[in-house]
Chains A and B, each alone.
Chain A
Amino acid sequence: GAVVSQHPSRVICKSGTSVKIECRSLDFQATTMFWYRQFPKQSLMLMATSNEGSKATYEQGVEKDKFLINHASLTLSTLTVTSAHPEDSSFYICSARTSGTGGRQETQYFGPGTRLLVL
Chain B
Amino acid sequence: AQKITQTQPGMFVQEKEAVTLDCTYDTSDQSYGLFWYKQPSSGEMIFLIYQGSYDEQNATEGRYSLNFQKARKSANLVISASQLGDSAMYFCAMTPYSSASKIIFGSGTRLSIRP
* Contacts from A to B (Cβ < 8 Å): 1, 32, 34, 38, 42-46, 49, 57, 91, 93, 95, 97, 105-113, 115
Contacts and interface: CB of A to CB of B under 8 A. Distances in A.
B50 A107 contact: yes
28 contacts: A1-B47, A32-B100, A34-B102, A34-B103, A42-B107, A43-B91, A43-B105, A43-B106, A43-B108, A44-B91, A45-B105, A91-B43, A95-B45, A95-B103, A105-B33, A105-B50, A105-B52, A106-B101, A107-B50, A108-B47, A108-B95, A108-B101, A109-B47, A110-B47, A112-B44, A113-B43, A113-B45, A115-B43
A32 B46 CA distance: 19
User: How many interface residues does chain B have, given as a range?
Assistant: 20 to 34
Contact of A106 (B33, B102, B105, B108): B33
B101 A93 contact: no
B43 A44 contact: no
Contacts of A113: 43-45
B45 A49 contact: no
Nearest to B49: A107
Nearest to A115: B43
Contacts of A45: 105
